[in-house]
């Protein structure tokens, strides 16, 4: 029993030793300003970015670098001037990809390669056959598999061409499906390469919390060339987006004990020196400001009066908060009034239900008064209402059938017009029917008169003058045909003019 207790305590000691060893190994991080850029004053007055160089269609401003603008067939890139001097690193990338289209193109790329790439290459604006790592934020679906926007990490040894037809899916090492276009806030990517392990955390830009990251991918046994270059590139195609990068923050990573103590000491001394210089500069600036105010008191007073006219940022925020609270208060008051109305209606309904008696409703106010019964709806009235509803439904069905028939006929006419655009539809309306009836009646009358005249001719009673001859008959028929033709042409002309109006 005593031996078992000693073994137990020894085991607990070893467990705590392992936990202490694991927790005690914290990675040291050092900010590398020569491999970073951020606003404000990202670009100098001459347009250059310190320690970086850009080309192609890239544009640098004081707030961001627009690697590729929202124009068709644009390519641009920005590369660090110097190769890195450390083995492990972490890069925090803050960017925005925005466009007016529902689909964007082509995308943004993060590079770590043994040599700097081109500024107008074929792979997201940079060179193909690279040697190193490329992380692509691909926003266009080339293979039509509906798997974009997509983030992928692709390794290359300098001998492989990028598979554009399949969006690089045959070459990627790891990746994740994430949407990074047209977000309300800037999207972020934190890329870490430490002890041959590549990890990427992604911020989707839906919140303003800078630490709202989620795991995108993680890959082990990733071997990258030493002394590589950092770069960012982007490209557009038939579709176009604005590809803006505002922050590129690089930290070198060191395992415990790897970072020399003298380097830490030098950095602390530099920090103290810079802090002292900053304090001296602040004092000197304050002295110059006071001297200027003493020499120009009127300008100082005018500036204060001018500033009093406009509200400050804090005043604007307080005003907006007050307005929002006022709107909230008004909404709550309206809701309270509506709830009170609902409660009052509910009380009245409950009181009416409590007054229900067998066979009617009690209308007397005093309990001693007789009960007056109100007749309710009868069964035959319900049947009448149902019959009326059925009649309305049947009439609605007939109307629907008639409308469907009209729609099918109109569709047939439209299809015929589409097949023969020069053809004209001749409607058989009321005028044509009446005209044909009149012609039929006239011909019948004419036949009857001719028969009567033939009968008279056979009897020998035909007069010698004023008798209808064959020439007069043909002339009369020809005159009717001409009138009919003229009328038909006039009507066609009117219908053609009416169609032009519609």
167 pLDDT more than 90: no
Q: Percentage of residues in the chain with pLDDT exceeding 70?
A: 75
Could you give the angle at the alpha carbon of 197 between the alpha carbons of 192 and 199, nearest 5°? 40
The pLDDT, as a whole number, for residue 3 is 45
Q: In what order do the strands lie in the sheet with 131-138?
A: 52-56, 75-80, 229-235, 107-113, 131-138, 150-157, 172-176
Q: Percentage of residues in the chain with pLDDT exceeding 90?
A: 35
Residue 1: exposure state from Cβ atoms within 10 A (0-12, 13-18, ≥19): exposed
For residue range 276-320, what is the model confidence (pLDDT) as tens digits?
888 888 888 888 888 887 887 776 666 665 555 566 677 777 777
With contact defined as beta carbons under 8 Å apart, do 68 and 74 qualify? yes
Least confident of 36-50, 160-174, 427-441: 427-441
The pLDDT, as a whole number, for residue 478 is 81
465 pLDDT more than 70: no
100 pLDDT more than 80: yes
The pTM for the full model equals 0.51
Mean pLDDT of the chain: 79
With contact defined as beta carbons under 8 Å apart, do 424 and 495 qualify? yes
For residue range 234-259, what is the model confidence (pLDDT) as tens digits?
999 888 999 999 999 999 999 886 66
3-state secondary structure 104-162: CCCEEEEEEECCCCCCCCCECCECCCCEEEEEEEECCCCCCCCCCCEEEEEEEECCCCC
266 pLDDT more than 70: no
With contact defined as beta carbons under 8 Å apart, do 118 and 130 qualify? no
Residue 106 pLDDT class (50, 70, 90 cuts): confident
């Amino acid at each position: 029993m005593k031996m078992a207790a000693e073994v137990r305590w020894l085991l607990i000691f070893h467990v705590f030793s392992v936990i202490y060893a694991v927790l005690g190994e914290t990675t040291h991080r050092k900010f590398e300003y020569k491999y970073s850029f951020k606003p404000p004053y990202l670009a100098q007055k001459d347009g250059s970015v310190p320690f970086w160089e850009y080309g192609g269609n890239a544009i640098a401003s004081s707030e961001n670098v627009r690697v590729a603008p929202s124009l068709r067939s644009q390519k641009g890139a920005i590369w660090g001037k110097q190769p890195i001097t450390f083995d492990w690193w972490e890069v925090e990338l803050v960017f925005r990809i925005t466009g007016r289209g529902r689909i964007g193109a082509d995308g943004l790329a993060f590079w770590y390669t043994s040599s700097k790439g081109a500024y107008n290459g074929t792979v997201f604006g940079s060179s193909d056959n690279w040697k190193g790592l490329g992380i692509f934020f691909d926003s266009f679906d080339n293979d039509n598999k509906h798997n974009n926007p997509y983030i992928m990490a692709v390794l290359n040894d300098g001998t492989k061409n990028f598979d554009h037809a399949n969006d690089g899916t045959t070459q990627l090492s790891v990746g994740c499906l994430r949407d990074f276009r047209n977000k309300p806030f800037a999207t972020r990517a934190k890329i870490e390469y430490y002890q041959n392990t590549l990890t990427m955390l992604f911020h989707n830009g839906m919140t303003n919390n800078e630490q709202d990251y989620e795991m995108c991918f993680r890959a082990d046994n990733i071997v990258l060339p030493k002394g590589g270059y950092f770069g960012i590139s982007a490209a557009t195609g038939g579709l176009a987006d604005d590809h803006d990068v505002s922050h590129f923050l690089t930290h070198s990573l060191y395992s415990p004990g790897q970072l020399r103590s003298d380097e830490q000491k030098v950095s602390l001394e530099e920090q103290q020196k810079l802090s002292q210089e900053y304090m001296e500069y602040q004092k000197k600036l304050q002295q110059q400001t006071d001297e200027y105010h003493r020499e120009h008191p009127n300008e100082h007073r005018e500036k204060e009066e001018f500033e009093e006219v406009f509200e400050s940022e804090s005043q604007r925020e307080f005003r907006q908060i007050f307005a929002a609270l006022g709107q909230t208060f008004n909404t709550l008051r309206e809701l309270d009034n509506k709830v009170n109305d609902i409660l009052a209606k509910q009380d009245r309904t409950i009181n009416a239900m409590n007054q229900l008696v067998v066979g009617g409703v009690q209308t007397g106010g005093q309990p001693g008064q007789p009960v007056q019964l109100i007749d309710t709806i009868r069964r035959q009235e319900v049947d009448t209402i149902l019959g009326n509803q059925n009649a309305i439904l049947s009439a609605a069905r007939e109307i629907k059938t008639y409308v469907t028939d009209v729609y099918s006929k109109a569709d047939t006419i439209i299809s015929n017009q589409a097949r023969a655009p020069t053809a004209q539809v001749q409607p058989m309306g009321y005028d044509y029917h009446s005209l044909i009836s009149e012609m039929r009646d006239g011909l019948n009358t004419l036949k009857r008169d001719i028969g009567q005249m033939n009968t008279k001719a056979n009897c020998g009673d035909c007069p010698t003058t004023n008798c209808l001859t064959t020439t007069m008959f043909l002339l009369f028929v020809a005159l009717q045909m001409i009138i009919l033709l003229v009328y038909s042409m006039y009507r066609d002309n009117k219908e053609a003019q009416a169609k032009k109006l519609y």
